[in-house]
Each structure stands twice: as C-alpha cells, then as structure tokens.
Amino acid sequence: MSRAILQVAPGTSEETVAGICASFRDLLQQEVVFTVKEKPELIGGFIAEVDGKVYDNSLSGKMQALKKWMLGDM
Amino acid sequence: MAEFMNISDTVTDFARSLFDRVSAFEPAGQVKLCGTVSKISDNVARVINLPGRCYGELLRFSDTIWGIALDLEENGVGAVLLNPGDTVCVGDMVHATGHPVDTAVSDNVLGRILSPIGTAIDGKPFKPQRYAPIERPAPGLISRRPVDTPMDTGILAIDSMIPIGKGQRELIIGDRQTGKTTIAVDAILNQKGKNVICIYCAIGQKASTIAQIAQTFEKNGAMEYTTIIAATAADSPAMQYLAPYAACTIGEEFMKEGRDVLVVYDDLSKHAVAYRTMSLLLHRPPGREAYPGDVFYLHSRLLERSACMAHSEGGGSMTALPIIETTGGNISAYIPTNVISITDGQIYLESELFHSGVRPAINTGLSVSRVGRAAQYPAMRKVSGLLRIALAQYKEMAIFSRFGSDLDENTKRTLAKGEKLTAIFKQTKSRPYALSEEIVLLLANQSDIFDIIPSDRMQKAIPSLLEYCKTHIPGALKIIDTTGDMDQSVQTTLVSVMKEWAAEFAGNL
C-alpha cells in the first residue's frame, strides 16, 4: 500500500476525484491512499504525487508547457 | 484609411499565425520524477525516494533553489544546495531534472558578469541561447597539437623569460598581495585587438574586488571580449565549486569554433577549500589537511581541458592561468604541489621582491615555462637568450658585494648592468607592453645602450626611450608587431636610433 497526494482544482466533483483515484490504483496495481487537497492555482485538472513521481495533468501545468514550447521556437 | 487597412491586415495575419502555432501544440499530462527532503542542514539536503538519480544531476527544490546530487545512497541522495536553503523544509518535494548541471554558452556571454549556472549578476537582462554541461572529458591526445604560438601577456619578465604559449597551463603562485591577480588582469588587457576571448573566473573573492576588476576591464575596453564568472565569498561552497568548471565550459565552446581563449581561475586555493567544505558536510572521509582524497582530480580534470587543438578539430586553443595563494612562501604545501605538478610551468611571486619595489615581483629562479622558447616570437628569441643567467649572476654578486667595499671593475659593471636589467623588468600596473616595446627594451639592454644612464634615472629613461623610438622609427616597430621578427637591417636601425636617444638623454641629465 502506498500514500499519495492528490491536488485538484476547486469545483472538482467527488465522482471525478473518485474516478482519478481508481485510475491510479489500476495503473499502479496496488492500494493507494490519497490525501486530497484543493489548489486554486491549478485552474483545472489535477496533480498527483505518487511513489516518487509527479503526474501533472493540471491546466496551469499545460499552460506552462505551452509557454515553454512557444518561447522555445522564438 | 489605406494605412488603417494595412494595420488591420497585419493584425489579422498575426492573429492567424498565432492561432496556427497554438493549435499545433499538443497538450498532454507530464510525469516528473521527484523525491522528498528527509534532512536539511548546512545547505546539504538528504533526499529520499528519488528514482533514476545520477551523480552530479541538477535537482530542483523550488523555483529559486537548486541543488546537485553528489552523494548516491541506496534509497536517496545527498544534495548540496546552490542557493541558500533557508526555505527548504523536511517533507518538501524535490524534482530531478534528468540532466547534469549546465551553464549558458553562446556569444552573448561576452561582456557580461554571470553566475556559474548562467544567470546574470550585472543587473542587465540576459537570455541564454544555449546550455552546455559543465563537466566534460578533456580532449584526447590525437585531437591536440603541440603548443607553438605565443600568448602575449604584455609583461616583459614573463614574455622574455617565462614565455606562455596558446594552449598552455601556467600557474601563478605566491603569497597574498604579491600581484597575482594583477598579472592575470594585465594579460587579459593585453589581448585587446588580438582576437582572443578572455574569461575571468572569480572564486570566493569579495564582491567589491570583482566589481573593481570589472571596472578595470571596462575602462580599458577589455570587457567587450571578456566574460566574468563570479562566485563570491558570500555564495555557497557549491557555487564556488562549480565556478571554474562553468568558466572552462564557456571557453571550450569558443575553442571548438576554432577560436583562442584565455581563462583565468582566481583562485584555485579557495576552490579547494570550498570543495573541502562540501565534502566534509557530505561526511566524506577527510585526508591530508582535511581535504578529500580526490582533491587532485578536482583540479586535474579542470586543467586538462585546456588544450591546443589540432587543425582537424578547428585549431582553437584554451590557455589557462590558474592562481594559487600560498602561505609564508611555502610552495611545497599540499594544494600548491598538486597544481604545480598538473600545470606546464609556474610564475612564482615573492613578497620580499614586492615590498622592495620590484613589481611584478617575479622570482625568475623559481619560475619556469615548460613550453619555453617554442612559444616565443623569433624577435624575442634573439634578444632574450641570456637574461636568466644575467639576473642570476647579478643576484649572486649583489649578495657577495654586501660583505666588502673593494670591488673590481668587472664586478661593478655586472652589478650596474644587473640593477638596470631589474629596472627594465619593473612595469606599471595595467600598462602591458606591445611586442615592439619589449624588443626595444631588451635590445637596448643587449646592446649596452643603458650603460651611460645612471641607475636611478632608469624609471624615467625607459618611457623616454620608448617614446623616442615610436616617434623616429614607427615603421620598424610596426614590422616587429606584425611579423614577430626582426631582420638585421631593422636591428641595426633600432640600435643606431637608441644610441642617438642615449646620447641626448644623458646630455640632458
């Protein structure tokens, strides 16, 4: 069993959070206990910190990546 | 109206172009590796559960705090922080970047003062074009060629008796306040107009000292071809440890393009102390004088990267002037002997000479260049042959003469000539000589031009002679400066003009 932190944007429904937790259990093939935190900075999506990896599926993370991608070509 | 339509079209085109570019981006979730800080003290953090970690990997503690993984353990790493770690707490996430520490390299580093990790510290905006890892293997044997091109320092004593070539490593060693940095700075100032890139690496120095050096470069127009890499005394030991490697990496990038580079490491004693501090905090076993066992490798892998590249590899070169500070004139201490054995010669500066007014305070007996006359211009070879012997004989005679007052004519002549030769080698700070000026002075000595000038007038005589030659025979001086050689006719012309000057100068006394 491992512990993980799940950060979600405000307004994320409980069903969505449960769905994310279930997906990670399937991915990692083990029981994971999530501590859920709301972070307005994410804007949307989620960030999960599990087993030494950070899974960043947040809108703010994607916007940062877009910014780097745009600047990288200039 | 037409102008308005044009502007409107431009905006529309721009908006369309921007929309196309943004549409081409494929947003996807990212997976990053991270660990957790389990212990933090003295700017050293223990990070656990960091998978795929590598030695020397750059770790991100926060947007402004970075560290290097220097201690690999079974389930974690010991990381030394590059920035003050006051805000790092136990439990913080640490992200692995997946690459080693790197620094900014490109043409736009020239004229700037940068930190070892490529951030600007001169108050102006800086956008790095490229990054390169700061640790790289040294060029192999086949990629090198022998050192055969002079690197002019503009300091007469060095260019004549301890010549440095492009691609050589020449150590500058001496006690505190003996003029080590002055020699290095003057060597940089003398590269103006010679297409040599200069990098001054300040390790553990006072920020005020670095600011003064930068000002000297600005005032003399040296900043346009110089980069300063600064890790001040207030910076962490990790930054001071990285600084010379960052400077070396920047130099290597220019060397790969076929350019000549001069790097000054000021100074490697402080670099060794910073590395010792880091190693002790990482609980590595201390060796002699508490330095870690690999302190030789610390400097050898840095200095071996300076080379003279073969023409097939671009033909560039990187000359290194590492500086070591000794205590009490002891050059047989641990770090000095290490670096002496790595370099291709040393310039030894003595406090006694400095305080007696001989500046630069070079002890020519203990200084050596292992490249030697292969790195001298033909004109310099013609006039510098017997200088060391002459100086050594003079010093011996000067000691002997203190014991008696009855000296024969030969001894008096040798003593007088030795005093004048010592006076010729004295040089003002920030006033490097051109090659033609050096040749004029040494030829004057060789041709006994100064015999009729009293010793106490030499400091006035030398600039007067140089000015006279520049006014009366500029063509001959230009030939020496451009070709590096001096044929018999040029030599004869120079000697006759110098004799005229001597007669005029002595007559006016």
CA atoms within 13 A on the CB side of B89: 2
Whether residues B50 and A52 touch (CB distance < 8 A) is answered with yes
Closest CB to A55 among B22, B25, B29? B29
CATH number for the domain formed by residue range(s) B34-99: 2.40.30.20
Residues of B designated catalytic: 370
Burial group, residue B251, by CB count within 10 angstroms (0-12, 13-18, 19+): buried
* Tens place of pLDDT per residue across chain B (509 aa): 666 666 778 888 888 888 888 888 877 777 877 888 999 988 999 998 876 678 999 998 987 899 999 998 887 899 999 988 888 988 888 888 888 999 999 889 999 999 999 999 999 999 888 899 999 999 999 999 999 999 999 999 999 999 999 999 999 999 999 999 999 999 999 999 999 999 999 999 999 999 999 999 999 999 999 999 999 999 999 999 999 999 999 999 999 999 999 999 999 999 999 999 999 999 999 999 999 999 999 999 999 999 999 999 999 999 999 999 999 999 999 999 999 999 999 999 999 999 999 999 999 999 999 998 888 999 999 999 889 988 988 888 887 777 666 778 888 888 888 999 999 999 999 999 999 999 999 999 999 999 999 888 999 999 999 999 999 999 999 999 999 999 999 999 999 999 999 999 998 87
Residue B144: name the closest of B165, B125, B119, B120 by CA: B165
Residue B111: name the closest of B250, B295, B237 by CA: B250
3-state secondary structure (DSSP) of residue B78:
strand
* Host domain of residue A54: 2-72
Alpha-carbon distance of A33 to A25, in angstroms, equals 9
Residue A60, min C-alpha distance to chain B (Å): 11
Q: Of the CATH numbers 3.40.50.300, 3.30.70.1380, 3.20.20.210, 3.20.20.140, which one belongs to the domain with range B104-376? A: 3.40.50.300
Q: Of the CATH numbers 1.20.150.20, 3.30.230.10, 3.50.50.60, 3.40.190.10, which one belongs to the domain with range B382-507? A: 1.20.150.20
Please indicate whether the domains covering B34-99 and B104-376 agree at the CATH topology level.
Answer: no
Give the residue extent of every domain in chain B: 34-99, 104-376, 382-507
Q: Residues B282, B80: contact at Cβ < 8 Å?
A: yes
Number of domain units in chain A: 1
In chain A, residues with a C-beta closer than 8 Å to the C-beta of B50 are 52
Whether residues B30 and A65 touch (CB distance < 8 A) is answered with yes
B-interface mutation test, from A43, A69, A74, most B Cβ less than 10 A away: A69
Q: Residues B22, B16: contact at Cβ < 8 Å?
A: no
In chain B, residues with a C-beta closer than 8 Å to the C-beta of A73 are 21
Residue B100, min C-alpha distance to chain A (Å): 19
In chain A, residues with a C-beta closer than 8 Å to the C-beta of B30 are 54-56, 61, 65
